[in-house]
Structures are given as structure tokens and as C-alpha cells.
Amino acid sequence: MRTVNEGTDLIASAIARRVPFHYGWIVVFAGTLTVFSCLGLGRFGLGMLLPSMGADLGLSYTQMGTISTANFIGYLVSVVASPWMIKRFGESRTIVFGLFLVAASMAIISQGDGFLWVIFFYTLTGFGSGAANVPMMVLVPQWYANKVRGRAAGFMVTGAGFAIIFSGLFIPAVNETLGTEGWRMGWATLGGLSGFAAVTAWALLRDRPASLGLRPLGEVVGEGGNGNGDQGDPAMSPQRVVVHLGLLYLMFGITYITYGTFIVTAMVEERGFSEMAAGQVWSWIGALSLLSGPLFGTLSDKLGRRTGLLAVFAVQTVAYILVALHLGTGSLYASIMLYGLAAWSIPSIMAAAVGDFVGPERAATVFSTITFFFAIGQTVGPAMAGALADATGTFDVSFAVIALLGIIAIFGTLGLPKRAKR
């Protein structure tokens, strides 16, 4: 293992010397692939696979929601374990382990023959997703100065958008070719792509810029902290940061994953869309979401994290209201466009905000803690929505509930300070 690690260190050092830009952008590339796998494929691939897999295995709406919830239970456990794993193995090794677990578990799901098989291994997918995503976001305040954190994290989370585009186009085509067994090829393919992401992360990611003789991207020589004199906000206690950001992250977790898990199923089973047509619309979400992280991340760099969060929650809440009102196809398309436009913005802003408010040295612990809130939200959301759909015969009530939670999140964001004090 030592020889292998030394070999990858030599590769990273050679790249750092030869590229005409900061190695931080290589980290962004590896981070984008990481998010592509652990969140994009590992989580949102399910939304496209559920209709065909549910039909082939005879799953109810409640069981579909429970499968999604199982993934987030695994994610939740991983979030709890992440600080220990990061301390014991470092961020990069934890990320690689998580990605390999995502790859292996999704490949095994392709061989499933029932609800229990799928739910067990999709729980492992969730654990791997958390083990990859949390340390990837923790690397943000280590590799990037305050003034570019939101933008860097924003580009990383575009990986989820690329995954949605891929799954929205690929999975319906496979299902059309292979019929009821197409979902198996879908899972196997997602697993193979995640394996590629794991190998790339292993070769390129490093825990600190100092290991390559570099300073954080955007840091001005002579300034203290991790760029721009950033030592965190002394006016905010870590406890207040954890509770406030955590509760907002909880709301985001419930709302965005409920929409993302069931919008395709609602389109196919309630709105009269074919699976192919719904997949094309789903790919629109992915295309629009490519703008979300860089757009709102850069906005938060310029105007402050509170302003960035307010803008995202406002856009997403309008999206939830439009789909809940069931006003017709035009309203549905507008909802999907708004959801895609703001889809991955919150995680990138949260990663930057944690570095701002508590400083890079405490970022790992605090980000893991607020992600625990986020994971709880993701665990509760799909199960709640699936049960409501079974009870009412429609997803409209579930979408109305997340619209209400979005409004609560908007008012909750107003309590944050406009900027972290330098």
C-alpha cells in the first residue's frame, strides 16, 4: 500500500508542476466525479429506476419510499462515522472507500430478486455516498480561500447534474431495449461508472495543498488563515452554527429529495407521461442544475451566505408550490425548470458557510454535524411522501407539504448573519 500511495503522490506532484493552473482545479474535477457518483448516480439514479424496478418486483409506493429511506439511513450512519474515518484515514482515503462501496453495492443490486435484497444493498450505497460526500465537502475550506469557496464547491456539485442527464437519457433507452429487466443493466452500469470515479479520486485527490507544496487557491501570500484572513466568525458560537445551519439543512434534505425521488413517478403514473418522455424531462433538470452550484455559489461569495441561501430556498419553494397546485403541463414544466436551476446550490453554500463561520480547522466536525441534520431530512422525506401517496392516491399532498417547509426555511434563513466577520 505504501508503494502504491507513493506512486499516486508522484502522479499528483507531476500534474501540479506541469498544469498551467492551480491544482485546486484538479481537485474540483475529482470532486465533480465524486459527486457524480455518490450523489448523482447513487441517489438520483433511483428516481429513474423506480418505475421499472417497482413494476418488475411488485413494489408499492410505501416500499419505494422505504427503499429511498434505507439509502438515507445508510447515509446517516456514515455521517456519524465520518469524523472518525476522516481522523483515522484522512479525507482522500475515506472518499475512495466510499466510492468503491457505492460501486460494489449498486452492481449487486442489479442481481436483486426482491424488496429485502434491494433495501439491504441500497443501504450500503447510502453509507458509501456519505463516506465520499462529507469528506469531499470538508476538503473545500482546506483547498480554497474564502473568496472562492462557494464557486469551487458549486462546480463540484454539478456532478449530480451530469448524472441526472445521463440517467434520464440512458435508463429509459435501456428499459425500452431490454424491457422489464432493463433496470438491472441500469444498476450495473451505474456501478461501473462509480468504480471509475473511485479510481480517479484515488489517483488525484490529496488532503492538503501543502502536501504538493501549494497554498490554498485564492489565498494571498502574507495573509493569515486560509485566505482573506479567514479565521471564522468569532461572534458566532459553534453551537449556534450547528443548530441554525443544521435546521436549514434539515429542511433542504426533506424537500429536495422528496421532489427528486417522486417527480418522475408522479409524471408517469399521475400526469400521463411515458417513461421515455419523463426521462427526457428529468434530463432537463440535470442540464439546468449544471448552472445551480456555480451560479448560487458565486452569488454567496459576492453577497454573503445568507443572501445565497435565501435566493435558493425562494426558487425551490416556488417550484414545490407550482407542482403541488397541479395547474397543468405548463406549471409542471416551470416547476421542473426552477427545481433544476437551484438543485445543488444549498450543499455548496453550506460547505462554504461552515468554513466562513468556524474556520477551516473545525470545518470537518461542524460540517459532519450539520450533514447529520441533512441526512435525517433525507431519511424522513421519501418515507413520508410515499406513505401520504398511498393514503391519498396522489403525490399532490406530499408536494404541498414540502412547499410549506420551504416557506419555513426562507424565514429561518433570515436569522443568519449577512456575512461572517473576518
Q: What pLDDT is recorded for position 6?
A: 54
Query: Is residue 3 scored above 50 in pLDDT?
Result: no
The pLDDT of 194-218, averaged and rounded, is 90
Cβ contacts of 347 within 8 Å, gap of 6 or more: 137, 153, 157
The pLDDT of 88-115, averaged and rounded, is 93
Cβ contacts of 157 within 8 Å, gap of 6 or more: 35, 39, 292, 293, 344, 345, 347, 348
Query: Is residue 334 scored above 70 in pLDDT?
Result: yes
DSSP per residue over 215-251, as a string?
PPBTPPTT--TTTTT----TTS-HHHHHHHHHHHHHH
Query: Is residue 149 scored above 90 in pLDDT?
Result: no
Look up the CATH number of the domain holding residue 39: 1.20.1250.20
Query: Is residue 307 scored above 80 in pLDDT?
Result: yes
Q: Are 258 and 384 in contact (CB under 8 A)?
A: yes
Query: Is residue 290 scored above 90 in pLDDT?
Result: no
Q: Give the SS3 label for residue 166.
A: helix
Q: Where are the alpha helices (DSSP H) in 326-362?
A: 329-342, 345-358
Q: What percent of the chain has pLDDT over 70?
A: 92
Confirm whether 377 is domain-assigned. Answer: yes
Q: What pLDDT is recorded for position 228?
A: 40
pLDDT range class, residue 286, cuts 50, 70, 90:
confident
Q: What percent of the chain has pLDDT over 90?
A: 31
Q: Are 127 and 74 in contact (CB under 8 A)?
A: yes
Q: Which residue has the higher pLDDT, 75 or 108?
A: 108
Nearest to 31 by CA among 135, 128, 122: 135
Query: Is residue 391 scored above 50 in pLDDT?
Result: yes
The pLDDT of 329-345, averaged and rounded, is 88
pLDDT range class, residue 419, cuts 50, 70, 90:
low
Confirm whether 281 is domain-assigned. Answer: yes
Query: Is residue 350 scored above 80 in pLDDT?
Result: yes
Per-residue pLDDT of 173-187, as tens digits, reads: 888 888 777 889 999
Query: Is residue 327 scored above 50 in pLDDT?
Result: yes
Q: How many Cα neighbours within 13 Å face the side chain of 293?
A: 27
Cβ contacts of 338 within 8 Å, gap of 6 or more: 315, 316, 318, 319, 322
Report field, pTM of the whole predicted structure over 0.75: yes
Confirm whether 213 is domain-assigned. Answer: no
Q: What pLDDT is recorded for position 229?
A: 37
Confirm whether 290 is domain-assigned. Answer: yes
Per-residue pLDDT of 7-47, as tens digits, reads: 567 777 878 888 888 998 999 999 999 999 998 898 878 87
Q: What pLDDT is recorded for position 238?
A: 60
CA angle in degrees (0–180, nearest 5) for 361-365-369: 145
Confirm whether 216 is domain-assigned. Answer: no
Confirm whether 219 is domain-assigned. Answer: no
Domain that holds residue 304: 2-207+225-413
pLDDT range class, residue 422, cuts 50, 70, 90:
very low
Confirm whether 173 is domain-assigned. Answer: yes
pLDDT range class, residue 420, cuts 50, 70, 90:
low
Q: What pLDDT is recorded for position 7?
A: 52
Query: Is residue 226 scored above 70 in pLDDT?
Result: no
Confirm whether 220 is domain-assigned. Answer: no
Q: Are 214 and 22 in contact (CB under 8 A)?
A: yes
pLDDT range class, residue 190, cuts 50, 70, 90:
very high
pLDDT range class, residue 96, cuts 50, 70, 90:
very high
Instruction: Quote the CA–CA distance of 334 and 76 in Å, as a whole number.
Output: 32
The pLDDT of 307-326, averaged and rounded, is 93
The pLDDT of 198-212, averaged and rounded, is 90
The pLDDT of 59-83, averaged and rounded, is 85
Q: What pLDDT is recorded for position 107?
A: 95
Number of domains in the chain: 1
Query: Is residue 233 scored above 60 in pLDDT?
Result: no
Instruction: Quote the CA–CA distance of 295 and 291 in Å, as a whole number.
Output: 6
The pLDDT of 169-174, averaged and rounded, is 85
Lowest mean pLDDT among 110-114, 395-399, 406-410: 110-114
* Mean pLDDT rounded to a whole number for the chain: 84
Q: What pLDDT is recorded for position 5?
A: 55
Query: Is residue 120 scored above 60 in pLDDT?
Result: yes
What length does the chain have? Answer: 422
Q: What pLDDT is recorded for position 8?
A: 67
Instruction: Quote the CA–CA distance of 107 and 129 in Å, as a whole number.
Output: 15
